[in-house]
Amino acid sequence: MAVNLDKPQRWKADTQLSVDEYNRWFLQYAPAAYRETRARATTYVEDILKRTDNLRNITADILFQHPDALEMFRMSTAPPLAQDRLVGLARVSKSLIETMEKYKRVPVRMSETLLREQLERIITIIKEILDRDVFIWFAEYREPSPDEVRRASTVVADRICGMLTDPLIRNAQEKRQLKRITTWLETRGYVPSEVRSLHNIQPGTFAHRVNVRAIQSSGEFVSVPIDTIVMPKTGMDGNLPLLIEAKSAGDFTNTNKRRKEEATKMRQLRNTFGEDVRFILLLGGYFDSGYLGYEAAEGIDWVWEHRMDDLIEFGL
C-alpha cells in the first residue's frame, strides 16, 4: 500500500516543512562545525608552514616525507587547484594524488624513481602559481612577520574548510538520521540486531549499514549498501525486512542530480528479491516535486523526517 508516493497534493507542503526543518538543523550545527574544522585546518596549515620555512623550502623531499602537505599546497596557489586540475597540469598519476591526500602516504607499489619524478613535477607547478598575494613575503624576499604568517594560515585554512565542511555536514546529517530512526524504533520496542542478513533477521529487530548482494541488469552481482533494515514485529519466516535509505540534502540541485541512484538500487533489489521487496526513503531537506515524482514513477515510497510516524503505515 502506498503511503506518500500517491499523494502529490501534499508534496509541496511536505517539501516546505522538510526544508524548514533542515535549515533549523543547519543553522544550529553548521557554524559550530565550521569553527571546529577551521581551527583544525589552521593548525594543520601552520604546522606545514613551519616544516617548509614558510613555503620557502617546498621540495619533493618534503612531499615524500610528509604526503599530508599536498592538500595545503593545492590550496596555496592562485587559483587553488582541484585534484584533477593538478593531475593534468603536473602530468602525474591521479592515484598518487588520491593516495597522498586520503591515506596520508605515498603509493607503496610505485617505484621510488617514478614517485620522485612525479613529486618534482607537482612541486614545479605549486611554485609557479603560488599565491603571492597571500604569502606576501615572497615578492619582497624577506622573513615574514608572525602576523603575516597567521593571516596567510587563516586564508588557506578557509580554503581547506570550503572542501571539508560540506562532507562534514553530510556525515553529521547521516548520523543524525540514523539516530532518529533508532530512537523511533526503540521507543516502539524494537531492538538492534547483530544479524547482517535479510533472511535471518528476527521480528522486532533492526540493523544499520547492511550490505546486500544483489543482481544488476547485466546479470552480475553487486554489493548494495542499505542504511537500515527493519523486520516488523509481525514478520514471519520467508518475509523480507523493510529496507530504508536515509537521504538528506541542503539544496534542490544536488537531489535532482542524484535521483537516479535510488531507482538503480530499487531495480537491483527487484531483480534479486522480486517485485514485493519493500525499499523506501527517509527524506530530510530539499526534495522537490521533480525529485518526488521521479521516485514515485519508479515505485519508490518515502517517509519524511518531520513525519516519522508514517513508518507505522509500512507495518512497523
Q: Which CATH class is domain 8-28+172-314?
A: alpha beta
* Tally of CB atoms within 10 A around 243: 23
C-alpha distances (whole Å) from 91 to each of 59, 99, 125, 168, 221 are 17, 16, 10, 30, 36
Please state, in angstroms and rounded to a whole number, the distance separating the CA atoms of residues 90 and 123: 9
What integer pLDDT is reported at residue 271 of this predicted model?
86
This prediction's pTM: 0.73
- What is the rounded distance in angstroms from the CA atom of residue 203 to the CA atom of residue 188? 13
User: Are the beta carbons of 70 and 101 closer than 8 angstroms?
Assistant: yes
**Count of positions (residues) in the chain:** 316
Residues 118/157, Cβ–Cβ less than 8 Å: no
Question: With 0-12 CB in 10 A as exposed, 13-18 as middle and 19+ as buried, what is 208?
Answer: middle
pLDDT score of 161? 84
Q: What is the pLDDT along the chain (316 residues), one digit of tens a residue?
A: 788 999 999 999 999 999 999 999 988 888 888 888 888 889 999 999 999 999 998 999 999 999 999 999 999 999 999 999 999 999 999 999 999 998 889 998 889 999 999 999 999 999 999 999 899 898 778 889 988 998 999 899 988 887 777 777 888 888 899 999 999 999 999 999 988 788 889 999 999 999 988 877 777 888 889 999 999 998 887 788 999 999 988 888 777 667 788 888 888 888 888 888 899 999 999 999 989 999 999 999 999 999 999 999 999 8
What pLDDT score does 11 carry? Answer: 94
CB 280 within 8 A of CB 262: no
The Cα–Cα gap between 243 and 229 comes to 5
Query: Distance between CA 81 and CA 252 in Å, rounded?
Result: 27
CB atoms within 10 A of CB 235: 18
The pLDDT assigned to 162 comes to 76
Q: Find cell 531537506 and name the residue.
A: 285
- pLDDT at position 273 is 86
Query: What is the pLDDT, as a whole number, of residue 130?
Result: 93
The confidence score (pLDDT) of residue 282 equals 95
Domain boundaries, the chain: 8-28+172-314, 34-166
Distances (CA, A) of 178 to 88, 127, 276, 300: 39, 45, 25, 20
First to last CA, the chain: 13
* pLDDT for res 9: 94
